[in-house]
Amino acid sequence: MVRSTVRQLVLRPKFLAHQLRCLHTEDKKWQSVATAAATAATQGVCVPAQESLPSMHTFRYSDTIVRLAEPHQLQPKPDAAGLQFGKLFTDHMLKIEYHKRLGGWQKPVITPFENLVLHPAAKVLHYAVELFEGMKAYRGVDGRIRVFRPEMNMDRMNRSAARAGLPTFSGPELIKCLSRLVSIDQEWVPHSESSSLYIRPTFIGIDPSLGIACSESALLYAILSPVGAYFSSGFQPVTLMADPKYTRAFPGGCGDRKMGSNYAPTIHVQREATERGYQQVLWLYGEDEQLTEVGTMNIFLFFINDDGERELVTPNLDGLILPGVTRLSILELTRSWNEFKVSERKITMAEVIKLMNENRLLEMFGAGTACIVSPVASIHYKDITINVPTGSQENPLYYRLERALTSIQYGRVQHPWAVTID
Ligand SMILES: Cc1ncc(COP(=O)(O)O)c(C=O)c1O
């Protein structure tokens, strides 16, 4: 049955669209979210062929239990200016447990923010059975709170869960639980167009026993953290270290999943880059030194191609690349503008050097939820420094993209990618 459904999904992505529509027809408010997810499915962005279909067994938002913090437990709200990433957390959190022996998913619970209690043998502590997502809630110019394409994060979270041997769930149901959490802590969404409330859904294996196996007990939880402007004093193009002796991901691995185990091994490399005077790591892969990602962002190059036209390129999703929500949004936006060629393909260091030597490289930038876009000033590679003129373009593309995406997020323009939370 599962195999035949997977086959249906691979061969007929519209089948998933239909499934998602059926699941949520009863809930008018979230119809738009389900439809957006269904559209994403028909565009071929979800459901890996090699892994099992997300189970239809799920928790339900309508079962949510809410335990509000007592007035004396509420923290003072910080000033939007001076917020540091991930240092402060709001008053409440979401917890959803899964226990196979109790029939699977349990009721979602929103509780005052609290520490977790874990058995010392919990799988997360030994085998890194952990995955997470990074999303933001934005306070719009009209005072309403919006989240950006949340169904994409849910889809990616389910794919990470499948690879980690954790149970899958209904993305639209989790979006509803997260929205309720944000709405309870809504005063924590900064009243500022350069700040936001970071949403960190996290999923861990917590079985109280050693052994590398699928988790029979798991905890999905979400915490919220107000975050400030990424570039507090305007855009500052960053310097990159590209050292082919390091790689972030490899074929058959998990580079395309947002699992904590992908990030721990990068910390040492980032420290080395900092010690050598560079701000970020440009991750290369393979004998031909393919550019894969920059820091924790997808990478884009804007250049003049062999036919003399302008082209925007980013590496194709070959398993090494995290399928970023910002990446997809940039591809979709620029394709809709129809002003220059937009491609997804392999890019090598040899090609970057050739473009640079021929003065054809216009811009290079990273893209991700944290900063939207991060312009690149230079790459240090094998004792040479490649200067990239990103910061000296007139009306640069990276800036246009930042404006276009933040306009959607902060409600300066109405767009179906921005889902309001009431
Ligand atoms: C390795 C990596 N690449 C790319 C991204 C950008 O993804 P998104 O645009 O969904 O934030 C992230 C951040 O989540 C990341 O950790």
Residue 319, domain CATH: 3.20.10.10
Q: Is the same domain home to 208 and 307?
A: no
- Enumerate the β-bridge partners of residue 198: 136, 225
Q: Which protein residues are within 6 Å of ligand 1, measured from CB?
A: 134, 293, 296-298, 322, 324-327, 368-369
Structure confidence at residue 233 (pLDDT)? 62
The model's confidence at residue 232, banded by pLDDT at 50, 70 and 90, is low
Nearest CA to ligand 1 atom 2: 296
Boundary-marking domain end, from 209, 227, 245: 227
Over the stretch 26-61, which tens digit does the pLDDT of each residue have? 333 333 433 343 343 333 333 333 444 444 599 999
Over the stretch 237-251, which tens digit does the pLDDT of each residue have? 999 999 999 999 999
Query: Which tokens hold the place of 402?
Result: 């930042």
Q: Is the same domain home to 326 and 355?
A: yes
Nearest CA to ligand 1 atom 5: 297
Q: Is the same domain home to 185 and 324?
A: no
Pocket test for ligand 1, best of 263, 297, 318, 374 (most atoms within 8 A of CB): 297
**Average pLDDT score, the chain:** 88
> Measured between alpha carbons, how far is 150 from 160 in angstroms, rounded to an integer?
15
Q: Is the same domain home to 222 and 238?
A: no
Q: Is the same domain home to 240 and 191?
A: no
Over the stretch 95-112, which tens digit does the pLDDT of each residue have? 999 999 999 999 999 999
Q: If DSSP codes are grouped into helix, strand and coil, which group holds residue 260?
A: helix
> Measured between alpha carbons, how far is 381 from 378 in angstroms, rounded to an integer?
10
What are the CA-CA distances from residue 16 to residues 157, 299, 319 (Å)? 17, 30, 22
Which atom of ligand 1 is the closest one to the Cα of 321?
3
Residue 7 has pLDDT above 70, yes or no: no
Which atom of ligand 1 is the closest one to the Cα of 293?
3
Q: If DSSP codes are grouped into helix, strand and coil, which group holds residue 324?
A: coil
Nearest CA to ligand 1 atom 4: 297
Boundary-marking domain end, from 195, 227, 259: 227
Over the stretch 151-192, which tens digit does the pLDDT of each residue have? 999 999 999 999 999 999 999 999 999 999 999 999 999 999
Which atom of ligand 1 is the closest one to the Cα of 255?
1
pTM (2 decimals)?
0.88
Residue 15 has pLDDT above 60, yes or no: no
Which range, of 2-11, 233-242, 330-339, averages the lowest pLDDT? 2-11
CB 371 within 8 A of CB 377: no
3-state secondary structure 316-379: CCCCCCCCCHHHHHHHHHHHHHCCCEEEECCCEHHHHHHHHHCCCEEEEEEEECCCEEEEEEEE
Pocket test for ligand 1, best of 198, 320, 322 (most atoms within 8 A of CB): 322
Query: Which tokens hold the place of 30?
Result: 């979230």
Nearest CA to ligand 1 atom 16: 296
Q: Is the same domain home to 213 and 240?
A: no
The model's confidence at residue 392, banded by pLDDT at 50, 70 and 90, is very high
CB 139 within 8 A of CB 106: no
Q: How far is the CA of 76 from the centre of ligand 1 (A)?
A: 31
> Into how many domains does the chain fold?
2
Residue 28 belongs to some domain of the structure: no
Q: Which domain holds residue 326?
A: 233-408
Q: If DSSP codes are grouped into helix, strand and coil, which group holds residue 96?
A: strand
> Measured between alpha carbons, how far is 165 from 203 in angstroms, rounded to an integer?
11
Residue 223 belongs to some domain of the structure: yes
The model's confidence at residue 21, banded by pLDDT at 50, 70 and 90, is very low
Nearest CA to ligand 1 atom 6: 368
Over the stretch 259-268, which tens digit does the pLDDT of each residue have? 999 999 999 9
Query: Which tokens hold the place of 49?
Result: 């062929």
